[in-house]
Structure 1
Amino acid sequence: MSEHQRRRIYLMRHGNVTYFDSQGKPFLPEQVPLNELGQAQASAAGKIFAREKLQFDRVIVSGLPRTVETATRVLAETGQQVALDHWPELVELRGGKLSAIPDDSLREAFVGAFDGVVPEDRRFLGGESIGELMDRVHPCIDRLRADKSWDTVLMVLHGGVNRAILSYALTNQRLFLGNLAQTAGCINAVDVGEAQADWVVRVVNFSAVSSLQGESRHTTMEVLLDQYLQSRKRQN
């Protein structure tokens, strides 16, 4: 291998899911499947990969149903038979108990973990901290890069996890850039070389169903906060 030859990571966020019912009550995030839009997003991403005739040596998912279903739909479009590697260390940021968060702290709890350069002690929904997320994500990426058996890998993960990976790639430091948008079903492309600092970020947050993403200017967590507030209002 030439010292300048790099390998490619295609990093996806899972397709859209429904986290709250029509009354604003949360579903169990560990169990939610893709909704109709999410299924369309996953299949559309798969068609992009198929059109480019891309072949994956490995396909890595967190193991949560929404990542498994997204990856399965992508592979159905590419026609590849690749076993899914489940890496549970790459599950999404773990939130705490929503009902325990005071009303005046809700906005910070929902959106604070994705606000600029995020402090490591900032917690997501009163649960896991950004530092704890990086503690489990960075070693996974280092381990993947140390494995020389692949040239092209597909990773189907989560919005927070993807931000941790992209932040690592962009800075080669222990930083978390919360304002890197990750639309449901999006595709990122990152090249990695032999040297630890050899990262090249090629594509960020490409949506196969909405290339210019003109339909909304809200973040995912802002939308989810509004949905959850419906439930809080009814309870009060």
Structure 2
Amino acid sequence: MRHGSVTYFDAAGKPFLPEQVPLTEEGRAQASAAGRVFGAEGVRFDRVIVSGLPRTMETATLVLAESAQDPGVIESWPELAEIRGGRLSAIPDAELRAAFTGVFAGAVAEDARFLGGESVGELMDRVHPALDRLLADAGWETVLLVLHGGVNRAILSRALTGQRLFLGGLSQSAGCINAIDVGADDWVVRFTNYSPAAPLQHASRATTMERLYEQYARSRGH
């Protein structure tokens, strides 16, 4: 899953600390809707792994509450935190839109940096070993990962291609569910970006990062 909706900028476009933002009311509703789907389908989790950031922990807790499962099973894996941005104020106006949206379009080069911070290659350097460690553990049948848009893209890209590749155009709506079957020799992607709270996702054509760019740009008078 991706965590539910949060607010990264205030009304004037000033950023909040991304490590601290909680779910919005809409985000809590998205997480609860996902939990009800899991409960209705009888999906039980042997393990639940989050990045440790509040928005993933809160999403997982709501999912487990709605599906009548024990929140005490939640594990925090910090290496699965979202791709890290740099200082927004250091990005020139002419490069701002590309800095927000560039790593989430097409097949992305490993040296591409998110908001002037961490590169796509650096993201995969920490996500792939964590994924390998999880897959090496034969003690689970069904695991729930509640993570982030960029991290989920890294996982899905590997599942779809079998390679070290980052497909930025894989949409990850807030609170969405992805399903992957993993085996010794192959992976099967059952579905991606299913949003129980809004299955058709018709309310907006803008991506998450396009909306965030528009919010932040207000602080620069754009």
Regions of 4+ moved over 3 Å: none
Corresponding residue for residue 103 of structure 2: 113
Does residue 42 (structure 1) correspond to residue 14 (structure 2)? The answer is no
For 1:26-41, what aligned pairs fall within 5 Å after superposition? 26-41=15-30
Gaps of 5+ in 2: none
Distance 1:79 1:152 in 2: 16
Of 118, 123, 130, 2:120 maps to 130
Corresponding residue for residue 160 of structure 1: 150
Does residue 181 (structure 1) correspond to residue 171 (structure 2)? The answer is yes
- 3-state SS, counterpart of residue 62 of structure 2: helix
Q: CA deviation at 1:186?
A: 0.1
Corresponding residue for residue 14 of structure 1: 3
Distance 2:156 2:112 in 1: 18
Distance 1:54 1:111 in 2: 34
Distance 2:164 2:211 in 1: 28
Gaps of 5+ in 1: 1-11
- 3-state SS, counterpart of residue 227 of structure 1: helix
Distance 2:189 2:73 in 1: 26
**What is the Cα-based RMSD across aligned positions, in Å?**
0.7
Corresponding residue for residue 23 of structure 1: 12
Q: CA deviation at 1:194?
A: 1.2
Distance 1:172 1:204 in 2: 16
Distance 1:30 1:185 in 2: 18
Distance 1:104 1:52 in 2: 48
Identity %: 69
Corresponding residue for residue 226 of structure 1: 214
- 3-state SS, counterpart of residue 13 of structure 1: coil
- 3-state SS, counterpart of residue 180 of structure 1: coil
| TM, length-normalised to structure 1 | 0.93
Q: CA deviation at 1:115?
A: 1.3
